[in-house]
């Protein structure tokens, strides 16, 4: 068993979720409010360590009226336990789970950072050898009571999750902007598929304008 997983993101018309220098203010005001309404509905929100290092996100509900108990559990996929000790997602605003890989377990468990996270109430979950076993992580989170999980990115984790068949729904905000950049992060990076016939198939179930943005909702089939 695993949570129902909704991938939510924002991208430019040319498919970038950040520029080649990491600039990523893409969503309009109205979409940011939609994102926080979605966060409020979810039991957990998950990002990769690349997003933590690039954005230092709070992953709390703060752009709409909300109470502290509305904050979802924050999950970071972080094989090598690189999450900075002062990362905002390890503060006391919500519960936090850091998912690491077993190869780095002994080294991490004997570190000061591990003790500091324990004192802060941050949970650490180990799975996989060199990389986090995403299916095992989803099962663990479901056992912890997470029924609905919002995946926020980034580019690499999005591909791993969809390739593993762990995404049920995609909600994408397409902003009326073009940034280009061969090295800019796209909605899905990772190793990718070689053949179009191997593409993950989607079914469009909703589309609407929101401010200047276009919001598309797909079921992964
Ligand atoms: N516009 C948006 O909606 C949006 C949302 C989130 C992030 N972003 C942007 O995306 C960028 C970050 O994306 P990224 O690809 O660099 O990093 P990421 O956030 O996708 O994290 C990927 C990292 O997670 C770790 N990891 C551990 N196990 C893994 C597994 N099984 N599969 C995949 N990763 C695993 C690895 O270290 C990997 O490099 C940033 O620029 C951020 O601003 C944009
Ligand atoms: N939907 C969306 N639109 C954007 O334009 C953008 N840059 C992100 N980025 C996702 C990232 O994970 C965090 O949402 C941001 O970094 C803000 O983080 P917080 O509000 O502090 O949690 N997400």
β-pairing, 213-220 vs 202-210, is: antiparallel
Length of the chain: 221
Comparing CA positions, the residue from 92, 82, 97, 6 lying closest to residue 49 is 82
Q: Ligand 2 center to residue 180 CA distance, Å?
A: 20
**CA separation for the pair 113, 37 (Å, rounded):** 33
Confidence (pLDDT) at 197: 98
Predicted pLDDT at 97:
98
Which pLDDT value is given to residue 44? 98
Cα 121 to middle of ligand 1, angstroms:
24
- Counting beta carbons within 10 angstroms of the beta carbon of residue 64, is it exposed (0 to 12), middle (13 to 18) or buried (19 or more)? middle
Give the strands of the sheet with 202-210, arranged side by side: 123-126, 96-100, 73-77, 44-48, 148-153, 4-12, 169-175, 213-220, 202-210
Contacts of 211 (CB under 8 A, 6+ apart): 28, 29, 30, 31
What's domain 4-220's superfamily in CATH?
Dihydrofolate Reductase, subunit A (3.40.430.10)
Q: Is the CB of 213 under 6 A from ligand 2?
A: no
Res 130: pLDDT: 96
The tokens of 72 are what? 């979802």
Question: From ligand 1's centre to the CA of 17, what distance in Å?
Answer: 11
Which residue lies with its CA nearest to atom 3 of ligand 1? 9
Segments making up each domain of the chain, as ranges: 4-220
ipTM over 0.95: yes
Q: Name the residue of 59, 83, 96 to mutate for ligand 2: max ligand atoms within 8 A of Cβ.
A: 59
Q: What is each CA distance from 101 to 34, 76, 126, 157, in whole angstroms? A: 33, 12, 5, 14
d(CA 26, CA 213) in angstroms, rounded, equals 9
d(CA 94, CA 165): 28
Cα of 192 from ligand 2 centre, angstroms = 24
pTM of the shown model:
0.98
Find all residues with CB under 8 Å of 84, minimum gap 6, and list them.
Answer: 52, 53, 56
C-alpha 127/C-alpha 129 separation (Å) is 7
Q: What is the pLDDT along the chain (221 residues), one digit of tens a residue?
A: 999 999 999 999 999 999 999 999 999 999 999 999 999 999 999 999 999 999 999 999 999 999 999 999 999 999 999 999 999 999 999 999 999 999 999 999 999 999 999 999 999 999 999 999 999 999 999 999 999 999 999 999 999 999 999 999 999 999 999 999 999 999 999 999 999 999 999 999 999 999 999 999 999 99
Judge if the beta carbon of residue 172 lies within 6 A of ligand 2.
no
């Amino acid at each position: 068993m695993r949570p129902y997983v909704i991938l939510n993101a924002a991208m430019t018309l040319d498919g970038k979720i950040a520029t080649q220098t990491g600039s990523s203010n893409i969503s309009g005001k109205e979409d940011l409010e939609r994102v926080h309404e979605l966060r409020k509905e979810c039991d957990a929100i998950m990002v990769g360590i690349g997003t933590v290092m690039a954005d230092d996100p709070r992953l709390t509900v703060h752009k709409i009226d909300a109470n502290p108990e509305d904050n979802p559990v924050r999950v970071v996929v972080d094989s090598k336990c690189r999450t900075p000790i002062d990362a905002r997602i390890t503060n006391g605003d919500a519960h936090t789970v850091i998912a690491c890989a077993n190869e780095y377990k002994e080294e991490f468990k004997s570190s000061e950072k591990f003790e500091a996270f324990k004192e802060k109430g941050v949970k650490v979950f180990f799975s996989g050898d060199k990389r986090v076993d995403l299916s095992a992580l989803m099962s663990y989170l479901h056992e912890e009571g997470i029924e609905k999980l919002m995946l926020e990115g980034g580019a690499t984790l999005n591909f791993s999750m969809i390739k593993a068949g762990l995404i049920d729904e995609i909600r994408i905000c397409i902003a009326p902007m073009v940034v280009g950049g061969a090295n800019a992060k796209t909605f899905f990076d990772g190793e990718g598929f070689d053949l179009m016939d191997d593409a993950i198939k989607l079914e469009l179930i909703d589309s609407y304008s929101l401010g200047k943005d276009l919001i598309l909702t797909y079921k992964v089939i």
